[in-house]
Amino acid sequence: MPHYQARVLVHLRPSVLDPAGEATRSAANRLGVEGIENLRIGKVVEIELEASNEMDARQQVELMSDRLLANPVIEDWTLELKLS
């Protein structure tokens, strides 16, 4: 059975405030890093899975992303999938 590598990028929706991102932007400014207008924090989830084909692998990871990995009220996600 083929092996796939998936990377799910989870990030807050643009309309949701990101206190961690704002704190990091402020800290970077105090370190002397200039020019950062916006900084948002997200998470990356890496998954290795077996599936009979790419469509099945995508469906499984999309289900996990919608119901487990991201909070659909405040977060969006994107999926990168490749055969390993």
pLDDT in tens, 32-51: 999 999 999 999 999 999 99
Dihedral of CA 64/59/40/13: which sign? Answer: negative
Can you give the residue ranges of every domain in the chain? Answer: 3-83
3 vs 22: CA distance, rounded Å: 38
Q: Which segments of the chain have a pLDDT < 70?
A: none
In 3D, which of 73, 7, 18, 69 has the Cα closest to residue 44?
Answer: 7
Fold classification of 3-83 is Mth169; Chain: A , (3.30.1280)
What is the percent of the chain where pLDDT is above 90?
A: 99
